[in-house]
Amino acid sequence: MERVSELEAFRAACDRARAAGERVGLVPTMGALHDGHLALVDEVKRRGASFVVVTVFVNPLQFGANEDLGRYPRTLAQDLEACEARGVDLVFTPDDGAMYPPGFQTHVEVEGLTQPFEGAHRPGHFRGVTTVVAKLFGLTGPCVAVFGRKDYQQWRVLERMTRDLNLPVEVVGHPIVREEGGLARSSRNRYLSPDERERALGLSRGLRAAAQAWAAGTRDAAALTEIARGPVEDAADSVDYVAVVDPTTLERLDGTVSRALVLIAAHVGPARLIDNLELGVDPLPA
């Protein structure tokens, strides 16, 4: 496995792989890798990537002024070991100055899809995500890129960007990987004390309750929203949103629904956690 931090060396390594006929697969990350990220590496291989690239970059552009950029976990030595063990070919670890040199003034922005939910609670977040991912696509030239569906809205926004800009890459959303008990795996779970981790299960309990109601025949969007909200409100310190939305457009649903995604964001102790489940499609959180 090779590790590269300079942009030109990274681009050259990806060019060489493509010239040798490899199918380049990309897994963009912010590091602090866990089983959820490693499942993305497996997925990119399953999608036929013969040259697997992981990027590790804590992208300052996607953090708001009062967010956790400064304390975001950085575990590069372990990340590199985990990538090597999983059969990654190339890890890209640029620094802020390489990605955003003096004079940088270009951003990529998806409009409607970025407005609600995470976009409303984290102004500027998606602009940072789409800008960095567009840059990573440009530098890597992947055939396929895999993202976790825990960040469901991010996945849909990146699909939209890729389609709208005709970028020649297949964007794949991989199902959420959960810890025992149901908590969605996240680098931010490291912020939780044992008590907070227990309370954080309120999110997956809310999703499970909605999924069970769906399985029992409930199809009313308002009822499903309230069923999901109960356990979240009981456990979390504050709730940013619990919403039942169309899985493709992310528009809020009302009345009787035939397809539905439940989206949740809530604060538990020092962590802001998000989770989601497509009713009748995704498995019940364990």
CA separation for the pair 171, 101 (Å, rounded): 27
Q: Tell which one of 43, 59, 82, 88 touches ligand PAF (CB under 6 A).
A: 59
What is the closest distance, in whole angstroms, from the C-beta atom of residue 31 to ligand PAF in the complex? Answer: 9
Per CB under 6 A, the segment of 23-31, 90-98, 206-214, 226-234 that binds ligand PAF is 23-31
Q: Does 189 bind ligand PAF (CB under 6 A)?
A: no
Per CB under 6 A, the segment of 28-36, 38-46, 88-96, 171-179 that binds ligand PAF is 28-36
What is the closest distance, in whole angstroms, from the C-beta atom of residue 280 to ligand PAF in the complex? Answer: 26
Site string for ligand PAF, 94-133 (x = CB under 6 A): -----------------------------------x--xx
Q: How many residues bind ligand PAF (CB under 6 A)?
A: 11
Dihedral sign (CA 198, 271, 38, 122):
positive
Q: Does 29 bind ligand PAF (CB under 6 A)?
A: yes
Q: Tell which one of 43, 79, 151, 179 touches ligand PAF (CB under 6 A).
A: 151
What H or E segment, with its residue span, contains residue 2?
A: strand 2-4
What is the closest distance, in whole angstroms, from the C-beta atom of residue 89 to ligand PAF in the complex? Answer: 18
Q: Are strands 144-148 and 24-29 parallel, antiparallel or unpaired?
A: parallel
Dihedral sign (CA 165, 170, 176, 177):
negative
Q: Tell which one of 25, 28, 202, 285 touches ligand PAF (CB under 6 A).
A: 28
CA separation for the pair 99, 81 (Å, rounded): 24
What strands lie across the sheet with 24-29, from one edge to the other?
Answer: 2-4, 90-92, 51-56, 24-29, 144-148, 170-174
Residue 60 or 87: the one with the smaller Cβ distance to ligand PAF is 60
Give the list of residues 6+ apart from residue 89 with CB closer than 8 angstroms, or none.
1, 2, 17, 51, 52, 53
Give the list of residues 6+ apart from residue 30 with CB closer than 8 angstroms, or none.
56, 57, 58, 59, 72, 187
Q: Does 43 bind ligand PAF (CB under 6 A)?
A: no
Residue 26 or 227: the one with the smaller Cβ distance to ligand PAF is 26
34 is catalytic: no
Per CB under 6 A, the segment of 24-32, 99-107, 198-206, 261-269 that binds ligand PAF is 24-32
What is the closest distance, in whole angstroms, from the C-beta atom of residue 220 to ligand PAF in the complex? Answer: 33
Per CB under 6 A, the segment of 22-30, 216-224, 234-242, 257-265 that binds ligand PAF is 22-30
Of the residues 37, 107, 121, 125, only one is catalytic, namely: 37
Any alpha helices (H) in the chain, and if so which ranges?
Answer: 7-19, 35-46, 76-85, 96-99, 118-121, 125-140, 152-164, 194-215, 221-235
Q: Which residues bind ligand PAF (CB under 6 A)?
A: 28-30, 59, 62, 129, 132-133, 147, 151, 154
Q: Residues with catalytic annotation? A: 37
